[in-house]
Amino acid sequence: MNWVLSTRRVFLLGILACAFLAGCGGEVGKKNAKGSLVATRIRGGGSSFIGPIMELWKGAYEGTEVDYQVTGSGDGVQKLLAGERDFGCSDAPLTPEHIQKAGGIDAILQIPLAMGAVVPIYNLPELADPLNFTGEVLADIFLGKITKWNDPAISKLNPGANLPDTNITVCARADGSGTSHIWTSYLSLISPTWKETVGASTQPKWPVGQQAPKNAGVAKLVGDKVGAIGYVELIYALEKKTLKSGKIQNADKTAFLGASLETTGAAVANLKTIPDTLVFSLLQQPGKDSYPVCGTVWLVVQTKMEKSKAEAIKGFVQYAIGPGQALCAQKHYPLLPKVLVEKINATLSPLGQ
């Protein structure tokens, strides 16, 4: 008798608990639907290329809470198209399939938000000076054709360097990555073999080596193994003190350039005419001081969205291309050229209309 009552009580409690939880969910759901009770927070994610400057921006920007998750460019675009995020960032422009999925070219905006360089990094502690590379040599290394650091092709470019007889371990990105896209696009531009066998892609089939997700993951892979080589965005290369960044031959074949604010700035300065889609390439820009492997990160956003969210995103973009530019130098991103900023401001209007 007694226990029956107590089981009943348990049942009742259970039902009440369920009701309570359901209530919680329902209540919160309503708030969300109205949108007014919840402070505006815009959710974005994707590219790790832009991660470091995004972290500064979202800390300094006071308009709204910007939740940016570094998950890789591929993920940024996918989640945006699935409607799971308010904006995505990608350092590879959208593919025709993406645009079709979004509902046409007018349904989507691609806004250049940051530019930067992709840098070959390697782990050879005994070498003091940065090594020189050409696109061909880099392609052969990443194809697995050059397997030793003292290969004649490398020593020819570095006459003074005491290259060790160490195996080369190629490190690349495991996830869908815009940095991979910039890197493989560059290699495709230079090496016909690379173009044929691997091609330019956010997720190429790497012929050799090891892979890890995100820029920082590649940097860690390289850092963990003597003789490793990889590619990362400039700031990731600079922040890893134990790793060295290689120099790459410029497009004019007149000099070997290390990536820096000046050399990426020189490449960006070539940008005179910008297409209305705001999609362009910064690879192999002419000029003696133009670093050849530069790329752009686009903030991708669907034009159809809640007005409040659209305003919030607009506000954030205007901050990033305006006052936010002052923070760029801190993380070694070049300033966006004036022409581009004007063009972006002009294209923001369809947002939320």
Partner 1 sequence: MPKRANILKEWGDFCFRFACYAAALVGPALLLLLIALLVKASLPSITKFGFSFLYQTDWNPPQEKFGSVPFIYGTLMTSAIAMFIALPLGVAAATFLSEISHRRWARPAMFLIELLAAIPSVIYGFWGIFFVVPLLQPLLKAVGAENDTGRGMLTAGIVLAVMIAPFLTSVSYEVCKAVPMSQREGAIALGSTRWQMISRVVLPYAWPGILGASFLSLGRALGETMAVAMVIGNMPQIHFTTWNSPLGPVNFPALDAAAATIPSVIANQLAGAMTDMQRSALVELGLALLLVTLVVNSVARLLIWRSSRAEPKAPEIFEGKMATLERPEKPAVRAARRAELGGLLRRAVARFAWKNQLINQCMTVLMGFGFLLLLLPLFNILGFVAYRGIQSLDWAFFTSKPPLGLGHAILGTLTMVGLAPLFGVPIGIFSALFLSEFRSSRLVPLVRFVGDILGSTPSIIIGIFAYTIIVRPMQTDSAWAGAFALGMMMIPVVMRSSEEALKLVPGTLREASYALGATQAQTALRVLLPAALPAVVTGVILSISRVAGETAPLLFTAGNTDFWPKSLNEPTPFLTYYIYYYSSEGYEDKEKLAFAGALVLLAFVMVLNLGIRFIASLRSAKGARAD
Q: Which residues bind partner 1 (CB under 8 A)?
A: 1, 3-4, 7, 11, 14, 17, 21, 24-25, 28-29, 31-32, 38, 41, 43, 59, 65, 67-79, 82-84, 95, 97, 167, 169, 174-177, 199-206, 208-214, 216-217, 219-221, 223-225, 228, 239-240
Q: In angstroms, what is the minimal distance from the CB of 289 to partner 1?
A: 30
Residue 109 CB, shortest distance to partner 1, in Å, is: 20
What is d(CA 257, CA 249) in angstroms, rounded to the nearest whole number?
A: 6
Q: Which is nearer to partner 1, 126 or 342 (CB)?
A: 126
Closer by beta carbon to partner 1, 79 or else 157: 79
Q: Would you give the end-to-end CA distance of the chain in angstroms?
A: 67
Pick from 61, 43, 41: nearest CA to 323: 61
Residue 303 to residue 352: CA distance in whole angstroms:
6
Of 62 and 97, nearer to partner 1 (C-beta) is 97
| DSSP structural state of residue 38 | S
Q: Minimum distance between the CB of residue 305 and partner 1, rounded to whole angstroms?
A: 12
Q: How far is the CB of 224 from partner 1 (least distance, A)?
A: 6
What are the residues facing 111 on neighbouring strands? Answer: 299
Q: Which residue in 114, 88, 179, 117 sits closest to 328, CA to CA?
A: 114
Distance from C-alpha of 198 to C-alpha of 188, rounded to nearest angstrom: 8
Choice between 155 and 210, CB closer to partner 1: 210
Nearest Cα to 76, choosing from 113, 118, 130, 106? Answer: 113
Q: How crowded is residue 179: how many other Cβ atoms within 10 Å of its Cβ? A: 28
Question: How many CB atoms within 10 Å of residue 281?
Answer: 14
Instruction: Please give the Cα distance from 74 to 101 (Å, whole number).
Output: 14
Residue whose structure tokens are 């690379």 = 194
For the CB of residue 117, give the shortest distance to partner 1 in the complex, in Å. 19
Q: Report the residue number, 297 or 335, with the smaller CB distance to partner 1.
A: 297
Closest CB 269 distance from partner 1, rounded Å: 31
What is the spatial distance between Cα 296 and Cα 337, in angstroms, rounded to a whole number?
A: 12
- For strands 132-133 and 247-249, give the pairing: parallel
Q: Which residue, 32 or 162, has its beta carbon nearer to partner 1?
A: 32
Q: Report the nearest approach of partner 1 to the CB of residue 226 (Å).
A: 9
Nearer to partner 1 by C-beta: 21 or 279?
21
